[in-house]
Amino acid sequence: MLRAIYPGSFDPVTYGHLDIIERSCKIADELIVGVLNNNAKMPLFSVEERVKMLNEVTCHLPNVVIEPFDGLLVDFARQRKADCIIRGLRAITDFEYELQMAQTNHKLGAEIETVFLTTNIEYSYLSSTTVKEIAAFGGDITQFVPEAVRRELNEKMKTKRRV
């Protein structure tokens, strides 16, 4: 049984993330989507909110498990007995950073492989940051995120504007 981890902040999850998740499900028997709790960043959504949204938008995928984690990815992968880490690449600029992370993870845990999947070209420009910026100015984000995420993001932005 091949168990893979697709880690990220998913703040919020986009169609680009879902593309990688759905394609990873065809490769792995079990895909753990690891939602990073990174105290160095100031996410818009709490870890619990991000896990909830991911559970909602991946409920049609029976071999996906959504789990929060913090600390080193290699430690999380070992705890979950994962065989590999899946990373999505949008552009050449992603590759340089991701290669460096993969090599570091290999030094920390040589038994865990990293697999790179290129994002569907339709989503190659898409990032959570871009989606948040569009939503902050009241733009239409329906083509970038699932409906459940759109509702949550628009509600979060309304709350922020009131504050």
The residue with tokens 């168990």 is 3
Question: Is residue 90 among the annotated active site residues?
Answer: yes
Decide: 66 and 52 in contact? Cβ < 8 Å.
no
Angle between helices 147-162 and 47-57 in degrees, nearest 10: 150
DSSP string, 71-124: S-HHHHHHHTT-SEEEEEE-SHHHHHHHHHHHHHHHHH-TTSEEEEEEPPGGGT
Question: Is residue 41 among the annotated active site residues?
Answer: yes
Query: Which of 41, 81, 151, 160 is flagged as catalytic?
Result: 41
Decide: 69 and 35 in contact? Cβ < 8 Å.
yes
Question: Is residue 128 among the annotated active site residues?
Answer: yes
Query: Which of 50, 87, 90, 150 is flagged as catalytic?
Result: 90
Question: Is residue 26 among the annotated active site residues?
Answer: no
Query: Which of 87, 128, 132, 150 is flagged as catalytic?
Result: 128
Decide: 20 and 117 in contact? Cβ < 8 Å.
yes
Query: Which of 17, 87, 132, 150 is flagged as catalytic?
Result: 17
- Residues annotated as catalytic are 17, 41, 90, 128
